[in-house]
Chains A and B, each alone.
Chain A
């Protein structure tokens, strides 16, 4: 049962345009969401997060939107740059045996074309 889903395995965007990466979740108990960026042969790096008490969080070129009724979140990158080319994962922590386990989506590979 995939509780966090990223249905688009890849996305190509022209440099300077907006990139929109989508993520859907099924567990209504999730109250915090994170986006990670991963380059090949490296570990994922934290990008931006959002709490369920908000519907938007912005950090520079990156904005995450949360629609709780639709169980959907999206990451907007404006303007997109070639260095943004990477795999992006959304994730949610889930309470598990007294601690947290992080449920990850399958990732979306973003390619920003110069």
Chain B
């Protein structure tokens, strides 16, 4: 496997469910990100991890909980979501260095909350 892999690609859950999104990067990058893309809205940064250390993003509700066990894996734990949380959730990674710092995205996890 190469690049950034996200699973599952599609997820349907009820508002009381607990589920997790998984992301794995095979690029040796130091930083990993969760973005949210809703219809007709710009890409919204949710969380950033640099060398497994979380960089806070205060605007994200606590029903979204990230976890970064190592520099290659990133999870987004979902609990008690709302229908408006339905969106495409994108994981990305970057080398995290100054200069030519290209962000590489996964294919995304399409989440539907009923």
Q: What residues of chain A have their CB less than 8 Å away from a CB belonging to chain B?
A: 2, 32, 34, 36, 41-46, 49, 51, 89, 91, 93, 96-102, 104-107
Contacts and interface: CB of A to CB of B under 8 A. Distances in A.
A41 to B, nearest CB: 7
Contacts of A43: 4, 6, 90, 92, 105-108
Contacts of B50: 98-99
A107 B42 CA distance: 7
Nearest to B9: A41
Interface residues of B, number: 28
Interface of B: 4, 6, 31, 33, 41-43, 45, 48, 50, 55-56, 88, 90, 92, 94, 96, 99-108, 110
Contacts of A107: 42
Nearest to B10: A41
A28 to B, nearest CB: 17
Given A89-B43, A98-B55, A46 B103 contact: yes
13 contacts: A34-B102, A41-B108, A43-B106, A43-B107, A89-B43, A91-B103, A98-B50, A98-B55, A99-B50, A99-B55, A100-B94, A106-B41, A107-B42
B100 A32 contact: yes
A99 B41 CA distance: 24
A101 B48 contact: yes
A67 B17 CA distance: 49
B56 A97 contact: yes
A106 B55 contact: no
Given A44-B43, A97-B55, 9 more contacts: A32-B99, A42-B107, A43-B108, A44-B90, A44-B105, A96-B48, A97-B48, A100-B96, A100-B101
A106 B37 CA distance: 10
A83 B30 CA distance: 33
A49 B48 contact: no
B104 A46 contact: yes
Contact of B100 (A51, A96, A105): A51
A44 B43 CA distance: 10
